[in-house]
Amino acid sequence: MAVRHTWRTKDGLKTGELTQAKAIRLKCLDCSGWNWKEVELCPVKNCPLWPFRFGKPSKAKGAA
């Protein structure tokens, strides 16, 4: 389910449709300095968002 929302981006605020998966991807980007490579390499495996940081459950090593 998508909702209309306003969120922070590296270029300022953006308003649009937001799904739960997109919200997680955006939060991880925010947390990682807007750098996808840093999201990919995130070492904080005990973060509740870690398995979902690509917008779907991860099959990466270390995921539950």
Using CB under 6 A, pick the residue from 18, 22, 32, 55 that binds ligand SF4: 32
Using CB under 6 A, pick the residue from 7, 18, 23, 31 that binds ligand SF4: 31
Phi, psi of 51 (to 5 degrees): -65, -15
Site for ligand SF4 in 44-63 (CB under 6 A): 44, 47, 49-50, 53
How far apart are CB 43 and ligand SF4 at their closest, in Å? 8
Q: Is 26 in the site for ligand SF4 (CB under 6 A)?
A: no
What's the distance, Cα to Cα, between the start and end of the chain in Å? Answer: 25
